[in-house]
Structure 1
Amino acid sequence: MWVGVLVAGCAGLLALTLRRVSEAEAAVVERLGRFSRVLRPGLHVLPPLLDRIRDRVDLREQVVPFPPQPVITRDNLVVSIDTVVCFQVTDARAASYEVADHVQAIEQLTLTSLRNTVGGMDLERALASREQINAALRAALDEATVRWGIRVHRVELNAVEPPTSIQDAMEKQMRADRDKRAAVLTAEGIRQSRILQAEGEKQAALLHAEAELEIERRRRAAEAEDAASQARRAVPRQTPPPAERIRHPPLRPDDPRRLGRYR
């Protein structure tokens, strides 16, 4: 019986002594209320009643979205902006002792920096300068959180929503711009169509004139050839002289023609 009690007591003491730390996690250990050390992933032995784990800190990069916050621009318009912050704990001791709640602290610091940055811009510039706002927020957060053992990797504006009246005005302006661009494109298309039509008519007129000239040239060539042929046919033939105009020498007495044998 005593053996069983001893074994149970040893098992309970061992359970109170052994502590497991998971991967990508750090455990901050205190001894008698003071910081002692930071435990890395693995199995560790902690003396009971002397050491205790104060915090378990996640060392992975965390992506924390913050709810929309109202921000007043330089032209006195209230816009609703929600942000996403990507950060990572690099020093578990500082994250445990330098700030009470580092997530809430980052949220409040983000809101303050966002109001300072966007408050110096008008609405149009705030809507078009997201990269500039992201860089300014990251620089402000990185400077403030370095002593908390936290590194801010990225800050992104998830959405920038102006008031409803401004949204309606912007939609009307965008619709007017689209209609204007459509009208310009239509007019340009009509202009190009007319230009192409005029060019086609001009080309057709040139081709028709060339065809008329070619027809006229061929007609004149045919007429010249016909005139030359008629001129050749109109040349008179050379007729032989009449018989009575031919004079023959006198016939001799023994000439057969005189005797009537030859005519």
Structure 2
Amino acid sequence: MGNLLCLEQVDQSTVAIKETFGKFDDVLEPGCHCVPWIFGSRLVGHLTLRVQQLDVKFETKTKDNVFVNVVASVQYHALSDKASDAYYKLSNTKAQIQAYVFDVIRASVPKLNLDDTFEQKNDIAKAVEEELEKAMSAYGFEIVQTLIVDIEPDERVKKAMNEINAAARLRMAATEKAEAEKILQIK
């Protein structure tokens, strides 16, 4: 019935893109709007303004030749004042963001050793966020936050690292025990 009366409803936290005879005309804010289809006007799509999250998981290699699985989480949203750019300039926003995340992390992680990668994950996340902010602002999106959620080396590498730590602790325990026995003999 709304279509018959030329009335369209735009829900909260979204905007609608209106075209007239196939050409962009206006961005409609939430509420009720008159879209006279008999004069060539129509809504071609809706764009959410809510914060969305994209989790990107991929494998890369560190400087010390250890392959790690990195999980990055990007939170972003479309800007209402640039809604036409967000709707028309990108056909696949998630793929674009994913490509930038891949690019930045694959450029920064191979420069770091495995231990440094864990220590500098906030720096890596900041580099990703800065690069994404520069790139995605041209398309009408704002990057809210970028997090490196997980850095996970291969299971065999984790097992080897645990064995190295266990051996070092056993060596320290043996040294302490020998010191204690030495003190007992002296006394």
TM-score by length of 2: 0.85
Describe the superposition over 1:146-168 as per-residue Cα deviations: whole angstroms up to 9, x where unpaired. Answer: 10111112111121111233212
Decide which of 112, 131, 138 is 2:103's aligned counterpart.
Answer: 112
Q: Percent identity?
A: 25
Whether 2:36 is the aligned partner of 1:47: answer: yes
Task: Indicate the structure with greater helix content.
Answer: 1
Distance between the aligned counterparts of 1:150 and 1:175, measured in 2? 48
Query: What amino acid maps onto 1:172 in structure 2?
Result: E
State which structure, 1 or 2, has the greater radius of gyration over its C-alpha atoms.
Answer: 1
Residue in 2 that maps onto 1:259: none
Q: For the structure 1 residues 57 and 182, does the alpha-carbon distance in structure 2 shift closer, same or farther, using more than 3 Å as the test?
A: farther
Q: Quick check: 114-123 or 24-33, which moved more?
A: 114-123
Distance between the aligned counterparts of 1:177 and 1:150, measured in 2? 50
> How far did residue 131 of structure 1 move?
0.9
Distance between the aligned counterparts of 2:85 and 2:12, measured in 1? 20
TM-score by length of 1: 0.62
Distance between the aligned counterparts of 1:186 and 1:94, measured in 2? 70
Distance between the aligned counterparts of 1:96 and 1:131, measured in 2? 31
Two-structure CA RMSD over aligned residues (Å): 2.3
> How far did residue 187 of structure 1 move?
6.9
Task: Indicate the structure with greater strand content.
Answer: 2
Whether 2:178 is the aligned partner of 1:170: answer: no
Decide which of 20, 25, 28 is 1:31's aligned counterpart.
Answer: 20
> How far did residue 185 of structure 1 move?
6.4
Q: For the structure 1 residues 187 and 115, does the alpha-carbon distance in structure 2 shift closer, same or farther, using more than 3 Å as the test?
A: same
Distance between the aligned counterparts of 2:140 and 2:176, measured in 1? 58
Matches within 5 A, 1:14-25: 14=5, 17-25=6-14
Distance between the aligned counterparts of 1:87 and 1:164, measured in 2? 32
Decide which of 49, 72, 79 is 1:59's aligned counterpart.
Answer: 49
Q: How many residues align?
A: 181
Q: For the structure 1 residues 163 and 12, does the alpha-carbon distance in structure 2 shift closer, same or farther, using more than 3 Å as the test?
A: closer
Secondary structure of the residue aligned to 1:119 is helix
